[in-house]
Structure 1
Amino acid sequence: MRRSGELVQWNNKGGYGFVRDDTGRDYYVHISKMTGVSRPRIGDTLSFETAVGRKGRLSAVDVTVTASIPAPQQTLRDIKQAQGNVSRYAVGLRTAAATMMTILILVAISTGHAPAWLALLYAAMGTASALLYRFDKLYAITGQYRVSETNLHVVDLCFGIIGGLAAQEVYRHKTVKPRFVATTWAIALAHTLGLAALAFGGFKMLFPGGY
């Protein structure tokens, strides 16, 4: 027998929650049992079949959203505003790091220690990284599937770090989680040291002829 109920709890990161039917009984619901591409929000009305899940827990299966609460209307201006738990000083360091790497790239090219295409590579990958952070921020707001942290780090590592740092500051995104922040700074440090060595001739033994 198909039932209808309201989603009363939802863990967006884990993809699970509880739906309460008209009798007040709660059913466990997992994202894998839902149809559609958008994740539900608390307050949505769901239609579902019932089943007994693991450990004898009542679960909802074949779940569809029949009525959704309106999504909060936010603009890019809204998501660029600083969050209360983000230090402006800490965020400002990202601009400083991105600026330093940009200067080192220009120095390396102007002194003949690096080819001009290096700047184009950083610019292209930086743009790609910034777009990924932007999409992930928007997905987080609308409750859609997120860009994985691994993908963000991989693009940053592959010469996208300048754009990634800039996007983190502009969108106030991914600036709090300790492990993510630590990995971001490790990538930034590696690129900064590499660019510094390149700018000041540290790689002359590898490229004795210069560019």
Structure 2
Amino acid sequence: MTRIHGILNSWNDDRGFGFITPAGGGKRVFVHISAFTRDALRPEIGDILSFEPKKAADGRVQAVAVHGPRGTPRSRPYPALVGYLVIAAFVAVAFSLSTLWPISRWFVAIFVIMSVACFVAYAADKSAARAGRWRVPEVTLLLLGILGGWPGAVLAQQWLRHKTRKPSFLGPFWVTVVINTIAFALLSPLPLGDLVAGLLSR
């Protein structure tokens, strides 16, 4: 079958579909995320694509066997190192607090369990996005993060290359990180006065 080249001029990343304008002109062609080859990067408006046209059951022409940009992942809004440093700093501060005043094991357990749950939720959402299935609501991902799962979310964003190019999500996400960190400090059994005294005594 003859392949056609075109430009992706419309894309809904949450729902996983968009429209391609053929290079030779003509009506826009519907394309679903499941039609892309596995080695293609996540679609973005402006991508040059090649595809095979196929008439669907409703008579509408849609793109199949879509080849998109390959190779090096696209740039991310924040380097992976930033996320790793935030996690490292949080762990370092928590460890320092534990040397001055015992921190309940429940705190550690909550962060570990929620981080694993958050990582799994990100993985499920990415899998659903590629297959065109029902997505994990973003509010659920943010809720898991604010409840202590944000370290797992940071790892999932970088390792799975998911939710790293959407400012409307990343903004609220980092707000949840700040809120969770503040809540951890307030719920910590270490009084602020003891912390200051302990630091000054060193």
TM-score when normalising by structure 2 = 0.59
Counterpart residue type for residue 201 of structure 1: P
**Cα distance, 1:142 vs structure 2:** 4.4
Identity of aligned residues (%): 20
CA distance in 2, matches of 1:171, 1:28: 29
Q: CA deviation at 1:129?
A: 0.6
The match for 1:91 is 80
Q: Does 1:48 align with 2:57?
A: yes
Q: Tell me the equivalent position of 2:169.
A: 180
Task: Please give the alpha-carbon distance, in whole angstroms, between the structure 2 residues aligned to 1:173 and 1:15.
Answer: 13
Among 59, 65, 78, which residue is 1:69 paired with? 65
2:138 equivalent to 1:149: yes
| Residues 35 and 66 in structure 2, CA contact (< 8 A), matched pair in contact too | no
* SS of residue matched to 1:175: coil
Q: Which residue number in structure 1 is paired with residue 159 of structure 2?
A: 170
CA RMSD for the aligned pairs?
4.3
CA offset at residue 121 of structure 1? 0.8
Q: Which runs of 5+ in 1 are unaligned?
A: 1-7, 20-24, 32-37, 51-59, 205-211
Q: In 2, distance between residues paired with 1:46 and 1:97?
A: 49
Q: Secondary structure in 2 aligned to 1:69?
A: strand
Matched, 1:137 2:146: no
Tell me the equivalent position of 1:194.
Answer: 183
1:95 corresponds to which letter in structure 2? Y
Equivalent position amino acid for 1:45 in 2: K
Shift in Å, 1:122: 0.6
Identify which of 106, 112, 118 aligns with 2:107: 118
Match of 1:103 among 77, 83, 92: 92
- Is the CA contact (8 Å cut-off) linking 1:126 and 1:162 kept in structure 2? yes
Alpha-carbon distance in 1 for matches of 2:171, 2:19: 34
Aligned length: 168
Whole-angstrom CA distance in 2 between matches of 1:17 and 1:169 = 25
**Structure 2: where are the runs of 5+ without partners?**
1-5, 21-25, 37-50, 195-202
Question: Given the superposition, is the C-alpha separation of residues 101 and 139 from structure 1 closer, same or farther in structure 2, using an over 3 Å criterion?
Answer: same
Do the aligned residues in 2 keep the contact of 1:44 with 1:68 (CA within 8 Å)? yes
Q: For the pair shown, which has the larger CA radius of gyration, 1 or 2? A: 1
Against the structure 1 CA distance between its residues 134 and 71, is the aligned structure 2 distance closer, same or farther, given a 3 Å change threshold? farther
Over 3 Å counting, the alpha-carbon distance change for 1:95 and 1:30 in structure 2 is closer
Kept in 1: contact 2:156–2:162 (CA 8 A) = yes
